[in-house]
Chains A and B, each alone.
Chain A
Amino acid sequence: MALSKEQIQTLVGLIATSQTDELSCDECFGQIGEYAEKALDGRELSEGMQLIQRHLEQCPCCSEEYKALLDALHEIEV
């Protein structure tokens, strides 16, 4: 199946932002709760947390789960 322009654009973006030291999905998952709380509180991210941010930018799976987690946490915060 041929790639659409949007898919090519996505691919190029993913390539350009690739780093050699990325977290795995499980490493990201292990810290995602802490990351989400910091994000909800508007707290600054430590260096380790920035690796999570980068993983979320590269990994649609983890990013989708993160968004769902934020929705859930918003709901129970009240």
Chain B
Amino acid sequence: MSLFEKDDWVERLNSTGEVKERAISELREVLMSGLSKSLRNRYANRVQADDVVQDALIRILGKLDTFEGRSKFTTWAMTIAVRSGMSEMRRRHFKDISIESLLGDGMRFEPAAVEASNDDLEKSDLLVKLRELVETTLTDKQRDAVHALLHGMPVEIFAEKTGSNRNAVYKLVHDARVKLRHGFEQAGYKAEDITAVFA
């Protein structure tokens, strides 16, 4: 990226009067153009791009001093706008979907899923091991988070509904995955074996 671009946008947005107004209006146009395309066809078009852009502009102006110039300014601004738009769409999409309704009676491995692979003994062994590891090594919270994720609930929404935050939920699921992987390794299964069997 050119230094000029960084200096130019940030400087103009940090200025006053007409220069600032024009910069804001240009940025709004850039964001609108990107978001109209990228938010379309996601989560059944639950938000209007102009609402998102308005909200994103406030965020962007509020954190101008954190722009480090590692990407173009417009790219940086777009990451903020896209994240903000996606968050809002997810929130609306999952508004009436509770974690309980997704989890039902907890994470279960349908016997059919295991039986169906009886023709493949290795797969069947792995599934039995997986079920055992999930039941014995994960905490209730980890099981719920992994389960909700597998049923399509984004970590961000799971975090909101459980009063946590996205990083913490990602970490919760990450720790669960690592535990399961170690469990498999201790039982003599390497990562390559596991994926090969299920490929």
Contact = CB atoms under 8 A, between A and B. Distances in A.
Interface string A1-26: 11111011111111111111010111
A38 to B, nearest CB: 9
B171 A33 contact: no
B177 A18 contact: yes
Interface residues of B, number: 59
Given A72-B34, A73-B75, A2 B110 contact: yes
A43 to B, nearest CB: 12
B195 interface: yes
Contacts, number: 146
B108 A61 contact: no
A33 B198 contact: no
Contact of B178 (A1, A3, A18, A72): A18
A75 B38 contact: yes
B109 to A, nearest CB: 6
Contact of B171 (A19, A24, A65): A24
Interface stretch (B6-14, B17-25, B146-154): B146-154
B70 A15 contact: no
Nearest to B157: A61
Main secondary structure of the interface of A (DSSP, over half): helix
A22 B174 contact: yes
Contacts of A44: none
B78 interface: yes
Interface string B103-128: 11101111001001000000000110
A20 B127 CA distance: 23
A25 B174 contact: no
B72 interface: yes
A60 interface: yes
Interface of A: 1-5, 7-20, 22, 24-26, 29, 31-34, 36-37, 58-61, 64-65, 68-69, 71-76
